[in-house]
Chain A
Amino acid sequence: MGAEDIHDPELEALKAGDEAAFQSLIQRYHGPMLRLAMTYVGDRGVAEDVVQESWLTCVRSLDRFEGRSSLKTWIFGIVINIARARRRKEARILPFTAFWRRDDSDSHRPTVDQSRFGSDGMWRTGPRSWDNVPESKVIGGETLQKVKTAIDALPAKQREVILLRDVAGFDSAEVSSLLGISAANERVRLHRARAAVRKMLEEYLG
């Protein structure tokens, strides 16, 4: 992170106790934080606890935060730590959890059903344009519900990447650093995750 982050006006306002700055922060990040927490703990109620605990940790640690990373990266790093700790605890309690299953997140296996291509590698029947699908359907409640379900069904490694990139809005370098993975791994997981959601949407939107 650059030196300008040290003079982040938002961070300075928070450190000065500016309540409006804190309110704006929690309103902006609550949604992405909740979705991210659910990536690790599954249950919504537990995820809400994780988010609340993360905010309280942020408030208590604010004085010690020196702005070496961006404020946003720092906050989401706290969420990831708390959510992972919580997942470990839950995994000890539950006899079986899907969190530890093997997954193909880092594989380069094809993401599109191979039967859709002819022997020349060209589409037999290509995807259709969504240009004529009404916007109200594209971002309608039913579509969003299906997208949520599709993301929930992804292996955890893909879920955390797509959540951080596409929901929380981090860039590739920030996500690699938050998760401690290479840029190449980050990209493969993102690709597999988006391809899986797109596939479901193609079945739904046509």
Chain B
Amino acid sequence: MNCRQVVELMTDYIEGTLPADDRARFEEHIAGCDGCRAYLAQMRVTRRIIGSLADVPIPETVERELLEAFRNWRQA
């Protein structure tokens, strides 16, 4: 496996969906390749940064309106 092939298998590797023999060849390549190891680490950091986009606080006015709707539903 060369670097060009390895980079396209990164997500399959992270997802754990590579067949065992491909996985072994992938790991063998990664062990000896600084560039691909850095790429794999970057893919993981990328995922972590994207995950932090979830932290959007709900505006207070929206929260109040929704809680009121919930209360009304309960009383209905």
User: A residues within 8 Å of B by Cβ?
Assistant: 17, 19, 22-23, 26-27, 30-32, 34-35, 48, 52, 55-56, 59-60, 62, 108, 110-112, 114, 117, 120-123, 125-131, 138-139, 143-144, 147-148, 151, 162, 166-169, 172, 183, 187, 190-191, 194-195, 197-198, 201-202
Q: In the complex, what distance in Å separates the CA atom of A127 from the CA atom of B33? A: 11
Q: In the complex, what distance in Å separates the CA atom of A48 from the CA atom of B71? A: 21
Tell me the interface secondary structure of chain A in the complex.
Answer: helix
Q: In the complex, what distance in Å separates the CA atom of A131 from the CA atom of B54? A: 24
- Write the nearest CB–CB distance from A22 to chain B, whole angstroms: 5
Q: Please determine whether B8 and A143 come into contact, CB atoms closer than 8 angstroms.
A: no
Q: In the complex, what distance in Å separates the CA atom of A111 from the CA atom of B3? A: 12
Q: Please determine whether A123 and B42 come into contact, CB atoms closer than 8 angstroms.
A: no
At the interface, yes or no: B41 with Cβ under 8 Å from chain A?
A: yes
At the interface, yes or no: B20 with Cβ under 8 Å from chain A?
A: no
Q: Please determine whether A130 and B58 come into contact, CB atoms closer than 8 angstroms.
A: no
Q: Please determine whether A32 and B41 come into contact, CB atoms closer than 8 angstroms.
A: no
Q: Please determine whether A110 and B46 come into contact, CB atoms closer than 8 angstroms.
A: no
Total number of B residues with any Cβ neighbor in A under 8 Å: 45
Q: Which residues of B contact A121 (CB under 8 A)?
A: 2-5
Q: Please determine whether B3 and A162 come into contact, CB atoms closer than 8 angstroms.
A: no
- Write the nearest CB–CB distance from A158 to chain B, whole angstroms: 12
**Which residue from chain B places its CB closest to the CB of A201 in the assembled complex?**
B46
Q: Please determine whether B54 and A35 come into contact, CB atoms closer than 8 angstroms.
A: yes
Q: Looking at B7, B8, B69, which has the most chain A CB atoms within 10 Å of its CB?
A: B7
Q: Please determine whether A138 and B53 come into contact, CB atoms closer than 8 angstroms.
A: no
Pairs across A and B, CB under 8 Å, 27 listed: A22-B66, A26-B63, A30-B56, A30-B62, A31-B55, A31-B58, A35-B56, A52-B65, A110-B4, A112-B8, A117-B4, A121-B5, A122-B4, A123-B33, A126-B33, A126-B35, A126-B38, A143-B49, A147-B49, A166-B47, A166-B50, A167-B50, A167-B54, A187-B11, A187-B12, A194-B11, A201-B45
